[in-house]
Amino acid sequence: MSNARNTYLREMGIDVWVLRENVPDSPVGIERLGARHEIAVELAPPVALVQRAEAPASRQPNQARSATKDAVLPGRSASRASQPEPKETTIKPVGQAEPEFLLCFMDYTVADEDFSCVFYLPYSTRSLPIEVSRFADSIGAARFSQLTVPERSELRWPMVKAAHIAQSAAEAKQVVGAGINQRGRHVLVFGQAAFEYFDIPPQAPLGVSCAVAGKVLWPLADVNHYFTETDAKIGLWRILVEIKATGALGVRNV
């Protein structure tokens, strides 16, 4: 391509290729297609590099430690920043005795009539002993003149063995009270140690019914008393038969 034609094309704004032998020795700007002027770009060194070059090398470690030491989180004073936050824990009050017991419930229902037996047993008892279960079934048979399969449940207190959880007698009373609605209308409570959890007065005479929370509760002696004292067992059967004859368990005081 001739030099005259190249000159004509450049004046028209069209870049063309130039043969290597026609390129002058002095450096010239490189034009991109469509570009009319050279753009000079001066790169500035990174700011971090400039600051690092200006700071003395011997002072950098001390400044870094000082910045870390003096850093304070927003909303905290400098005196509290170095102290750990206290942890909230629930601690059992010193000297507060926790009751330990097992309550076994046996709920009997025949037609529209129902009643329950509750046995207060030592905490170490694994479950309702078989002889106690048979004793309750005998009471059910005397009450309804037939064998009845009861619904069984139990409450072991404390429910968990944890030193930091308070499980006092007051908490146990609340738990027992919350479940009283699941019992029958008449509840035979065996064991004087269980009276306080059912709101039965401690001086209440054995065998005399009392109304608590819409139920008729019967405070009775510990179940072992009826195993060792024959007269007490006979007296209990007589009471149940007489109550059955009247058709109203708990109406008359025994």
The model's pTM is 0.60
Res 128: pLDDT: 96
Res 36: pLDDT: 47
Q: From residue 241, how far is each of 137, 145, 188, 190 by CA, in Å?
A: 15, 9, 15, 19
Res 162: pLDDT: 79
**Per-residue model confidence as pLDDT tens digits over 218-239:** 899 999 999 998 888 887 887 7
DSSP per position, the chain: --HHHHHHHHHTT------GGGS-SS--PPPPTT--S-----PPPPHHHHHHHHS-GGGHHHHHHHHHHH---TT--HHHHTSPPPPP---PPTT-----EEEEEEEEEETTEEEEEEEEE-TT--S--HHHHHHHHHHHHHHHSS--PPEEEEEEESSS--TTS---HHHHHHHHHHTGGGS-SEEEEE-GGGGGGGT--TTPPTT--EEETTEEEEEE--HHHHHH-HHHHHHHHHHHHHHHHHT-TTTS--
Q: How far apart are CA 239 and CA 254, in angstroms?
A: 7
**pLDDT under 50: residue ranges of the chain:** 8-9, 14, 16, 26, 28, 30-44, 46-55, 57-58, 64, 66-81, 88-90, 248-254
